[in-house]
Amino acid sequence: MTKLSFPGLNIDWFEINPIAFSIGNLSVHWYGVIIAFGFMLAILYCIKIKDYSNLTSDNICDVALFGAPVGIICARLYYVIFSFSDYKDNLWDVFKIWEGGLAIYGGIIGAVLTAYIYCKVKNLSVAKVFDVCIIGVVIGQIIGRWGNFVNGEAYGAQTDVFWRMGIVENGKEIFVHPTFFYESLWNLGVFIVLNIILRHRKFDGQVFLSYLLFYSLGRVWIEGLRSDSLYLGGLRVSQILSLLLIIVSSFAIIYNITYKNKNKGL
């Protein structure tokens, strides 16, 4: 059971069962249900906006069905690589994905590479496909973070802000930043901005590059509040990658708008 509270909002301690339901010995967790719901909603929305990039419903479904499993595998690999000390003594634990340990940046990298290969095989515009599909990724992130809420994970450092979240850590009640909520709310803002850009884009690929820019801006801030970050040489991996993406995407957007003709894009 996950025990939580929001004392500043006058919400006393309550418990959430991470297991939605069981069939025999098989337990279905709310985390999986929430992720599946976000995945389906993302596909439906991408189909709704597919005409902005001359895609078909089959194109959208293919990208999603190929990209999702590869994304999950890469999300796990990314996490394991930067926390290998937790697995080196028992490598079989690497495969226990149901125990947690996924990194969103790894998932995005895997999904993007898969979509790129799909576009090349099908002779589709990479930039146009990315512009539509990345909005689906944002929807998945908005909804998926609530799986962290149910599991009582992905929270931040201790704080006394009035919206603080109470949680039990190592048998002790502490109050922390609800960083899962910060990221979900930030991504909602990114979703709105990307939809506006999609309808008024100056070049193909602008929506995708804007995602890299705006998501990374939020991640730099939110990651600084997290208490479960992955580290490399004493630095937070996600902050390093986010800063690099901010620089690269900003340069690419400025370059395309300033120096390239409209609709040529990436």
Confidence bin at 58 (pLDDT 50/70/90): very high
Give me 151's structure tokens.
């599991």
- Read out DSSP for 101-152? ---HHHHHHHHHHHHHHHHHHHT--HHHHHHHHHHHHHHHHHHHHHHHHHHT
Is the confidence at residue 26, as pLDDT, over 80? yes
The residue-averaged pLDDT of 26-53 equals 92
pTM: 0.89
φ/ψ of residue 4, rounded to 5:
-135, 165
pLDDT of residue 258 exceeding 70, the answer is yes
* Residue 168 neighbours by CB distance under 10 Å: 15
Structure-model confidence comparison of residues 252 and 90, the more confident one:
252
SS (H, E, C) 40-65: HHHHHHHHHCHHHHCCCHHHHHHHHH
More confident residue, 38 or 264: 38
Q: Please, what is the Cα angle at 9 between 8 and 11, to 5 degrees?
A: 105
CA 221 from centroid of its chain's CA atoms: 15
What number of helices (H) and strands (E) belong to the chain?
A: 7, 8
What pLDDT is attached to residue 266? 53
What does the pLDDT read at residue 264? 54
Residue 227 CB: number of other CB atoms within 10 A?
14
Give residues with Cβ within 8 angstroms of 121, minimum separation 6: none
Average pLDDT, the chain: 90
pLDDT of res. 24: 85
Say whether pLDDT at 263 is over 60.
Answer: no
What would the pLDDT profile of 135-190 be if each residue is shown by its tens digit?
999 999 999 999 889 988 889 999 999 999 999 988 899 999 999 999 999 999 99
pLDDT of residue 173: 94
Dig out the tokens for 168 from the structure: 């039990």
The CA-to-CA distance between both ends of the chain, in Å, stands at: 48
165 pairs with which residues across the strands? Answer: 176
Cα separation, 260 vs 237, whole angstroms: 33
How many whole angstroms separate alpha carbon 133 and alpha carbon 139? 10
- At 256 the pLDDT is 92
- Measure the CA–CA gap between 203 and 114, rounded to whole angstroms: 22
